[in-house]
Structure 1
């Protein structure tokens, strides 16, 4: 474990499907995806499969209410058994930081990127994508989070050891302790 903490600054980018492709799939209208051949409602409803949600166990959809906090990345976590999803309720913007999936037990911070989501679309991560929990730009931002129940259970205080949590389908790492780094996000 590291003791000296250095601050890195990471510029927040606009969330676009192309920029986010290494980390997951934007969940929103995409006219490039052909609608399924469902003809109910006289064509008034178009159904498009934008991405494939993966979960091999009990899945839940908690609503998380976010308050503004400093744009400092303290933790990075990943899930290898489900494609965790964040969807803003009420079209409020949020910031999320990602690092690509890897076989390593720690994220590659040199490939980390942060994105500003305007609240008009959600985001579903690829399996194993490292991420910090989103940051609110406006208090009382509600996010619908879709994830395996065991991941949520792994975050309860009795499962947190030394500021980190590890459980079935959860690896949450303390960036200062592991890398001697805190990452500040800059708008």
Structure 2
């Protein structure tokens, strides 16, 4: 079995795949100075035939080590995952199914926006309830491609 070690999710490391969504860095005060707005953190891309939609996903919790043989991508639009709890989740991505995937571990206060066409693993919360708001493309044309590896990968804590 092939092995991948987790790495911390950082904006720099994740940049080839999309954006990290977190309340850090530059902000401006709003709401009479009682709220920090970390402005315009994601590039939302829904293509010419789609529109933005917000869905709620509830995924079963998994544990490390974690094994997978399936990745997917959405060629017609970006996909943002915003956890509705404070639990870490696993983010598996790769530029190409023939390349070794990377496994990022969120810190429990981060979301992600996957760039259009990015190959990624399925939603993998590491604790219940696994509840996420998902912002992605809604449209009439197909927007899912899947790839199954001939041999599974095992993700272990880095």
SS at match of 2:116: coil
Q: Quick one: distance in 1 between partners of 2:130 and 2:44? A: 23
Q: Which runs of 5+ in 1 are unaligned?
A: 1-6, 101-105, 154-166
Aligned to 2:117: 128
Q: Deviation digits for residues 50-108 of structure 1, max 9, x if unmatched?
A: 122111424232222322266112211111221111111111111110002xxxxx623
* 1:31 Cα offset (Å): 1.8
- TM-score, normalized by length of structure 1? 0.71
Q: Quick one: distance in 1 between partners of 2:89 and 2:42? A: 21
Q: How many residues align?
A: 152
2:147 to 153, 162, 173: 173
* 1:12 Cα offset (Å): 0.7
Q: Quick one: distance in 1 between partners of 2:80 and 2:42? A: 11
1:143 to 119, 123, 132: 132
Q: Which structure is higher in strand share?
A: 2
* 1:40 Cα offset (Å): 5.7
CA gap of 1:138–1:80, structure 2 versus 1, over 3 A, is same
Q: Which runs of 5+ in 2 are unaligned?
A: none
> Is 1:16 aligned with 2:6?
no
Aligned to 1:30: 24
Q: Segments of 4+ in structure 1 off by > 4 A?
A: none
Aligned to 1:109: 99
Structure with max Cα Rg: 1
Coordinate RMSD, CA, aligned: 2.3
SS at match of 2:108: coil
Aligned to 1:182: 152
